[in-house]
Structure 1
Amino acid sequence: MRDWGVVMWQDYETTYRGALQDSEFLAWRELGARRKAQNIARVCREIEVVSILEIGCGTGAVLRMLHAMSFAREYFCIDLSSSAVRFTRDSCPTFAFRAVVGGADALPFRDGTFSVAILSHVIEHLDDPVSALHEASRIARFVVVEVPTERVLSNFVRRKMLCRPYPSIAGAGHVQFWSPSSIATFLQHNAGLKILNRHLDLLSEDVDSGRRNGHGPRSLAKQTLRNALPGSIYSRLLTTHAVFLCRRSAGQS
């Protein structure tokens, strides 16, 4: 599979249109979507979910997984790429009520339209994630956020001692970087959200390795550490995924 992440964020629409023709890219998105959907359901297990909006729907893989889990009754989505929206409409015709083209910082919906707005691996790509979170909390009662936690010891060594940037800058177009603790602080103090539930996903071997199909010494080393270390220590050493259920704090307008 071509490494689409290197160029995806230079011309999102054109590159995404090409990526949608790559069967390996689509399979990779499906693999990651299963875990993302499970994480979303996990943090939302104590709330009633009637309608959801996925912001940055991509291929619609997460929506399809959530629908297979009977997570909600109504499914909506939005993405900057018209090709992604068209693909999602075509692949989710029986349950996607509305799929629209648009940005996360100006959602074309009324206040309180949805039960849950989902930003799964989206805000790390945004120059202004606060605006996206404000919009999400405006149009939905609850907001689910999942991000990679990349401000960890392994990346500190990479950046400070080896003088190499975060690999996800070129590989995935990330412009925001958090640790497990700093993302919680960001959501509460910068975005004005109240955290209701959270989960730290240490990643399974297949999801963590992704395009490498679970093989290679790096994947084996990570799997060994996952099995040997408490999650609180592992998450300080290597990238994990932090998942939060939030709502707008009282007094936020």
Structure 2
Amino acid sequence: MANQTNQVVDAYKDFYAGKDTEWRMLGAKYKARNIIEVSGEIRPRKVLEVGAGDGSILHFLNEANFAPELYAIEISDSGIEVIKERGLRNLKEVFKFDGYTIPYADNTFDLVILAHVLEHVEHERMLLRELKRVAKYVLVEVPLDYRFGVDKRMKHFLDYGHINMYTPTLLRFLLQSEGLEVLSDKTSLISTEITRFNEFINRGQSKRFTKVLKIELEYRIKNLLGNFLGKKKKEQFANAYTVLTKKSEQTLQIL
């Protein structure tokens, strides 16, 4: 099993050391909502988050009492320290891992979560096979970077460490080709709360009424058109895609 390169591990070693906490928590609030909604009625007891970062998603899952047992693995030393410091009531264990090998036996978990991680992973299929090995259900969320004008934004995505791009169709194909059956899914727009924070706090733009109104109108128009024009158009407008899968008999056939 391949490991993450030392360069990747070093890049994330101190990544979560006391910076951008409010920004990550804001994004995590909506990611956790997507996870809870898409998980529907499966009611997992033991849940593992792979690539848990600083535990911000786990924080909201713990608050929602999503599962009585939460577990986390992460490549970043600083992330692991922040997760431990949170003192989450339902968190049972947190371990460092090499980016691919999950240190648990087959079928240990009811659900494994991979949220905004797959776009950073060099060997996607290797990691997906590990997720499938340790859990009955696999939930993945990715950003939808591939859209009109993507060629002009490639440096932006690379600066964020995104080395893979997906559409909902491409992700569904990847998951199904690895023997994972799609049970439920959801596309989502970036909330106006997140957009306002990014514009006025992260980027330091002046908080003009016209700018606030533009943010609100763009969100409402995209949401309205997506609902009116159907699933495919909704997927084109969306900024993230969340999908719940379970193990199936179909596997990738390599000639």
Deviation for aligned residue 1:210:
4.8
Deviation for aligned residue 1:65:
0.2
Stretch deviating more after TM superposition (213-222 or 223-232): 213-222
List gaps (5 residues or longer) in structure 1: 1-7
Deviation for aligned residue 1:230:
1.7
TM-score by length of 2: 0.82
Cα deviation 1:109-128 (Å, max 9, x = unaligned): 00010111000000000011
Q: Give the percent of matched residue pairs that are identical in Structure 1 and Structure 2.
A: 26
Question: Which of 17, 21, 27 is residue 20 of structure 1 equivalent to?
Answer: 17
Q: 1:181 to 1:213 in 2, by over 3 A?
A: farther
Q: 1:44 to 1:78 in 2, by over 3 A?
A: same
In the alignment, the residues of structure 2 paired with residue 210 and residue 181 of structure 1 have an alpha-carbon distance, to the nearest angstrom, of 30
In the alignment, the residues of structure 2 paired with residue 26 and residue 164 of structure 1 have an alpha-carbon distance, to the nearest angstrom, of 25
Q: After the TM superposition, which parts of structure 1 deviate over 3 Å for at least 4 consecutive aligned residues?
A: 8-11, 213-222
Where do 1:1-253 residues align within 5 Å? 11-16=10-15, 19-22=16-19, 25-155=20-150, 159=151, 163-165=152-154, 167-170=156-159, 172-189=160-177, 191-208=178-195, 210-213=197-200, 216=211, 219=215, 222-231=218-227, 232=231, 233-236=233-236, 238-250=237-249, 252=251
> Any conservation in 1 of the 2:188–2:238 contact (CA below 8 Å)?
no
Q: 1:252 to 1:122 in 2, by over 3 A?
A: same
> Any conservation in 2 of the 1:147–1:241 contact (CA below 8 Å)?
yes
> Any conservation in 1 of the 2:180–2:250 contact (CA below 8 Å)?
no
In the alignment, the residues of structure 1 paired with residue 223 and residue 40 of structure 2 have an alpha-carbon distance, to the nearest angstrom, of 26
In the alignment, the residues of structure 2 paired with residue 224 and residue 93 of structure 1 have an alpha-carbon distance, to the nearest angstrom, of 35
Deviation for aligned residue 1:181:
1.6
Deviation for aligned residue 1:31:
0.5
> Any conservation in 2 of the 1:152–1:235 contact (CA below 8 Å)?
no
Cα deviation 1:40-93 (Å, max 9, x = unaligned): 111111212101000011111111100111100101000001221111011135
Q: 1:95 to 1:82 in 2, by over 3 A?
A: same
In the alignment, the residues of structure 1 paired with residue 28 and residue 219 of structure 2 have an alpha-carbon distance, to the nearest angstrom, of 20
Deviation for aligned residue 1:211:
2.5
Q: Secondary structure at the match of 1:146?
A: strand
AA aligned to 1:28 is: W
> Any conservation in 2 of the 1:193–1:248 contact (CA below 8 Å)?
yes
> Any conservation in 1 of the 2:225–2:234 contact (CA below 8 Å)?
yes
Deviation for aligned residue 1:166:
5.5
Q: 1:93 to 1:152 in 2, by over 3 A?
A: closer
Stretch deviating more after TM superposition (94-103 or 61-70): 94-103
AA aligned to 1:20 is: A
Q: 1:179 to 1:12 in 2, by over 3 A?
A: same
Q: Secondary structure at the match of 2:154?
A: coil
Q: Secondary structure at the match of 2:129?
A: helix
Q: 1:45 to 1:164 in 2, by over 3 A?
A: closer
Deviation for aligned residue 1:227:
4.3
Q: Secondary structure at the match of 1:165?
A: helix
> Any conservation in 2 of the 1:193–1:246 contact (CA below 8 Å)?
yes
AA aligned to 1:186 is: L
In the alignment, the residues of structure 2 paired with residue 43 and residue 71 of structure 1 have an alpha-carbon distance, to the nearest angstrom, of 12
The alignment yields a C-alpha RMSD, in angstroms, of 2.5
